[in-house]
Homo-oligomer: A and B are copies of this chain.
């Protein structure tokens, strides 16, 4: 990860449509270099994919909420995780520090729909308690780019 890598990623982040040739022109390096750098960045896992970024809001799910789940002693986190994975509205779920807890991000079509989603998420014997917070606004939208510079 040197400066060229960062600049390269920033360029593709800003204008994903540019190809290797155009990128090489912008950065003043050879096309082969761009190709090689990208290939290396992908192999090392820094770039994990080029797929389209999807917006749940535009998909009709504008409501975001975070569930904190308390797991019953003895019940594996994995079984709860598997259960959560079957629910499309669960966008991610993590095990977190604390008394056997998990944190899950869910989306829903509306507040009414959120209730349904939560009910479905909590429908597992391993979950003994839960609390929900609803995201009202997004102050900092998800981003990783600023981290690049501090990773050089």
- Interface residues in chain A, defined as those with a beta carbon under 8 Å from any beta carbon in chain B: 1, 9, 12-14, 16-17, 41, 44-61, 64, 66, 77-78, 80-82, 84-85, 88-98, 101-105, 107, 133-151
CB distance from A99 to the nearest CB of B (A): 11
Q: Are A53 and B59 in contact (CB under 8 A)?
A: no
Other-chain residue from B51, B56, B104, B134 in contact with A140 (beta carbon distance below 8 A): B104
**In the complex, what distance in Å separates the CA atom of A143 from the CA atom of B41?**
22
Shortest Cβ gap from A145 to chain B (Å): 7
Interface-central residue, A44, A54, A91, A96, by most chain B CB under 10 Å: A54
Contact, CB under 8 Å: B45 / A55? yes
